[in-house]
Each structure stands twice: as structure tokens, then as C-alpha cells.
Chain A
């Protein structure tokens, strides 16, 4: 079992819809979680982080964390074609001082 699991997709949503990206993790030492966006041929770019149970909103993005269920999600409201990318979930283990990445979910937003 991988430490961080994501559905590989592809996930396709129409423009203006809500895209929901999910991530589960097995390392209970992971205390903080990060979402990175990676456009094709580019390097990952940090877009959101969350370390407390509940929701965290930043513009069109909402990160959700449920530590009891070991579940993290990213919601993208009013999806735009420019949101089409691979989204990487990463869990950060504070004791180890390092992040473990999932393999990413590819999102396509269709005009």
C-alpha cells in the first residue's frame, strides 16, 4: 500500500462545475497536507496546505482534512480550462521532516 493514494483519473468536469479531488494516507505521522498543481511538462506548484481538521478556503479552492478517516480532499469551484493539470497530494511527517507524494490525479476541465 502506498503511503499516499490518489485516483489517477483522468477526472473530467465541464467548465463552471466543481471538481473534487481525493487523497487518502496511511502514515499517521503525517500532520500537514499539501496540494500541488503540475501542468504538463512543468514542475509542481504549491497551491494549498492544511493541517487542522475541517475546511480551509482560498479563493476557488477548498481543502478538507479528516484525520480520523485519514482523508484529504481538494475542491475547485467554478472550474476553468486553466485548472486542467495534475494535482498532487502530499503528506508531511513532522518527525521525519519530509513529504510523501501521491501519484496525482489528472483533471481536465472542458469548455
Chain B
């Protein structure tokens, strides 16, 4: 089966600019997650979707981050405006149900300068 697709792989932006990341999960996977991984740390959950509904966005900085999953398939994560501390790898993951084992995409490495 095809894996989780993410784009772009790398992005460099200046602070206060906006950026968007795209994710297409494994076909049939109802649950989609966006994680932020800062260098040297484990992934931190930003938002979880079940089909096209938000299950958990308690850790999403809603003043600058937004995410959507239209039609319950692919998803977009946006940051506007970006801060220096947003520099991280943004990982998208999907799972068939809510059993815990995830398949991660290759991630987007964001550098904010």
C-alpha cells in the first residue's frame, strides 16, 4: 500500500510569514494526526482528525495554527504568522482506527528565520 504522503519536504520562511503543509493519508485510514517534532524531542500532538471531524486540538496554538481535513481524506496544516520557535519537523500520521499504531509520512522540515 502507498504510504502517507506529505509535501513539501523542506520549507524556509521568514518570521511573520505564512506557510502551509499538505498530507494525504493511507487510503482507508480514518484517523489522521499532525505532530510537531522539535529537534531532540519526541513528537507532540497538534491535532487529531477522525474522518473530517476534529477529535483533539487541545495542543494546537489556535492563534496562529489552523488545520482542516476536507472530505475526510487529505489535510492541510497552516501557520500564520510563523514564529522562530515554530522551526521543527511537522509529521503527519494516519491509522486505520484508533488502536495506536501509526504510519508516519516523511515530514516537512520547517525553518523560520
Asked if A and B bind, the verdict is: yes
Residue numbers of A with Cβ under 8 A of B are 4, 8, 32, 34, 42-46, 49, 88, 90, 92, 94, 96-104
Q: Name the prevailing secondary structure of the A interface residues.
A: strand
Residue numbers of B with Cβ under 8 A of A are 31, 33, 35, 40-45, 48, 50, 55-56, 89, 91, 98-107
Residues of A within 8 A of B43 (CB): 44, 88, 101
**Closest Cβ of chain A: how far from B6's Cβ, in Å?**
9
The 9 closest A-B pairs by CB, nearest first: A92-B100, A101-B42, A43-B104, A97-B98, A103-B42, A32-B100, A43-B107, A101-B43, A103-B41
* 30 A–B contacts from the bound complex (CB under 8 Å): A4-B42, A8-B40, A32-B100, A34-B101, A34-B102, A43-B89, A43-B105, A44-B91, A45-B104, A46-B101, A49-B100, A88-B42, A88-B43, A90-B100, A94-B98, A96-B56, A97-B31, A97-B48, A98-B45, A98-B48, A98-B55, A99-B100, A99-B102, A100-B45, A101-B43, A102-B42, A103-B40, A103-B42, A104-B41, A104-B42
Query: What residue in chain B is nearest A8 (Cβ atoms)?
Result: B40
Residues of A within 8 A of B103 (CB): 46
Query: What residue in chain B is nearest A46 (Cβ atoms)?
Result: B101
> When the two chains form the complex, which single residue of A43, A88, A102, A104 contacts B106, counting CB atoms closer than 8 Å?
A43
**Closest Cβ of chain A: how far from B15's Cβ, in Å?**
24
